[in-house]
Chain A
């Protein structure tokens, strides 16, 4: 009974948040609508990373690479093959899924540190590949795409984000989500309860990469161009920052993380508190601070405040990937 009440409360909060997001563009300028659309892009990307890192416990530092795969799918299909924008999104999801499964296969054998190393290298290697085949990807100069109004981008971005959120919600609530969390908390226990590690890890990587691919293609639509530098290491790291700040293993934190990544730099520069150069410095310091003080991120802030002192310290530690030690 308590569980059902909790679910009802979450649904109510979700509806309110969704309504606010839906009505927000009425008060925004065209430029700020486009900014809102890029918050939606980061929302989807952080959601994707959260599925594989937060819920399944497989760290990925290379989600920018999956965004690149999806973004280039959209760019090449519209630029070279005459597709219109929106039908490329499912295509990006499919291509992203395939890329995710390919990266996820070695992940079956790697643990913790090795997976971090491999995905970090993927994040740096994929833009190099894009540079190397200019006939296919436009090389360093990239490809230009048709522009859209801020409102269109906002609507498409948040519609996609909403669909992805609902998919993630249902995925993580049910049997699959339980299996993911079992893999994260203890691989041995999961395997002995009948969770096939290989299948679930690969599926988590595939679904996550498919979502990141969709995020990448919306990102390309918002930017209306694509080149290898758009999907550099910084993008991958920013997605990770967003997931960490919002809280790994929490769907609520995703919105906080996305807003943090996209809006903090704008807030800092427009209020002249500090220049855009200082943004990475602040981000880095925040990540270290969050890891030192509050490893479960913003989503846990409330929980910690409510249960301050009554819960043991252990429960606020993350248990990701510690199996591999």
Chain B
């Protein structure tokens, strides 16, 4: 076990970069946002709702990181799975459950669903070992899951009941919607619970070991393949949180393609964070959320249609300038 723990010490969840530039830049951004918020109430409102969007992206981005760290596969179906679970929540509520019981049931169903998907669809492909095969299988899963949402529930837009009464808090002339604040709170809580799970439980330790050193973990008695299924289950739970928070927001409609755009923002967030760091993905997601919201409200030519291309350009710049992201390890490719 010591070997595994030692390996983990070298690869912590939050792996700060040795360079001072990244933390300094982050502090700079934080100062800019706080000063801006103090000087203008519009700026403050846009920052808060940007953070709320960022919270949604963060849940999805952490789910992507979770699976990427374990298997080096980007789960292109993460958004579709989130949409599916959101429809499950909608269905439960249509059957008469109230919001929070439906929310809890959905998380349970999402966990079982993610676990099963790994077992049935991903594991047989994984055995063949090539990365591109796994990517294409994930694309197949995306088509399958998004298609079954349309098949089961139809392509018409559905209306999700709001979890919170539309209350507005007024703090010093700045209006904060309860919706935004709760979204931030729930997303952060979800990520935090997951972090505690990985940090302090034995299963969490086993999962990290399985991700970092599969061979060594197997030797000390960790069932690596079950840990991968478990990881997919947890990722699906995070996705479900993201999906339900997204459906509750007034700017997103519940339809089969609901998460397509959000998935790109989560990709961008995960890439900004370095694809392997969960904390990096959260910070990346909050940055992307705030950046897009501020650009959308202050730069006149950035229309809602352009937000996705802008996120793409951000991702491209990060990949070209610092491919390991803000918090990722620099990889050395041996020739």
Residues of chain A at the chain B interface (Cβ within 8 Å): 57, 59, 61, 106, 109-110, 112-114, 116-118, 120-122, 124-125, 128-129, 131-132, 188, 233, 237, 240-241, 244, 275, 277-281, 283-288, 291-293, 295, 317-322, 324-325
Interface string of B112-142 (1 = CB under 8 A from A): 0000000001001100111111111101111
Contact A237 B74 (CB under 8 A): no
Contacts known (A120-B76, A188-B335, A291-B136); A277 close to B150, Cβ less than 8 A: yes
Q: Is residue B264 contacting chain A, with contact meaning CB distance below 8 A?
A: yes
Contacts known (A116-B74, A237-B142, A241-B143); A129 close to B131, Cβ less than 8 A: no
Contact B121 A288 (CB under 8 A): yes
Contact B72 A131 (CB under 8 A): no
Contact A320 B132 (CB under 8 A): yes
Cα A287 to Cα B124 in complex, Å, equals: 13
Contact B260 A113 (CB under 8 A): no
Of the candidates A112, A129, A283, which one forms a contact with B132 in the assembled complex, judged by CB atoms under 8 Å apart?
A112
CB neighbours of B315 from chain A (8 A): 117-118, 121
Contact A283 B143 (CB under 8 A): yes
Q: How far is the CB of B294 from chain A (nearest CB, A)?
A: 19
Contact A128 B306 (CB under 8 A): yes
Q: Is residue B145 contacting chain A, with contact meaning CB distance below 8 A?
A: yes
Q: Is residue B176 contacting chain A, with contact meaning CB distance below 8 A?
A: no
Contact B125 A291 (CB under 8 A): yes
Q: How far is the CB of A289 from chain B (nearest CB, A)?
A: 8
| Contacts A124-B312, A283-B147, A288-B125 supplied; 13 other A-B pairs, CB < 8 Å | A59-B132, A59-B135, A116-B135, A117-B271, A118-B316, A121-B264, A240-B136, A240-B139, A275-B151, A281-B147, A283-B143, A284-B147, A325-B131
Of all A-B residue pairs in the complex, the 10 with the closest CB atoms, nearest first, are: A284-B144, A280-B147, A287-B140, A284-B143, A292-B124, A132-B305, A320-B132, A288-B140, A281-B147, A291-B137
Within 8 A of A (CB), among B139-176: 139-148, 150-151, 154
Q: How far is the CB of A278 from chain B (nearest CB, A)?
A: 5
Contact A325 B72 (CB under 8 A): yes
Contact B305 A277 (CB under 8 A): no
Contact A129 B135 (CB under 8 A): no
Contact A287 B143 (CB under 8 A): yes
Residues of chain B at the chain A interface (Cβ within 8 Å): 68, 72-74, 76, 121, 124-125, 128-137, 139-148, 150-151, 154, 257, 260-261, 264, 267-268, 271, 275, 303, 305-306, 308-309, 311-312, 315-316, 319-320, 323, 333, 335
CB neighbours of B308 from chain A (8 A): 121, 124-125, 128
Contacts known (A317-B129, A317-B130); A284 close to B319, Cβ less than 8 A: no
Contact A121 B146 (CB under 8 A): no
Contact B136 A244 (CB under 8 A): yes
Cα A257 to Cα B282 in complex, Å, equals: 40
Contacts known (A132-B305, A188-B335); A106 close to B135, Cβ less than 8 A: no
CB neighbours of A288 from chain B (8 A): 121, 125, 137, 140-141, 144
Contacts known (A114-B323, A120-B76); A295 close to B145, Cβ less than 8 A: no
Contact A281 B319 (CB under 8 A): no
List, sorted by A's number, 11 A–B pairs whose CB atoms are closer than 8 Å: A59-B132, A124-B261, A132-B305, A241-B140, A277-B154, A280-B147, A281-B148, A287-B143, A288-B140, A291-B137, A292-B128
Contact A114 B319 (CB under 8 A): yes
Contact A287 B137 (CB under 8 A): yes
Chain A residue with Cβ nearest B307: A128
Cα A109 to Cα B303 in complex, Å, equals: 30
Cα A284 to Cα B84 in complex, Å, equals: 15
Cα A38 to Cα B147 in complex, Å, equals: 22
Contact A295 B130 (CB under 8 A): yes
Contact A291 B320 (CB under 8 A): no
CB neighbours of B121 from chain A (8 A): 288
Cα A161 to Cα B108 in complex, Å, equals: 50
CB neighbours of B134 from chain A (8 A): 291
Contact A113 B320 (CB under 8 A): no
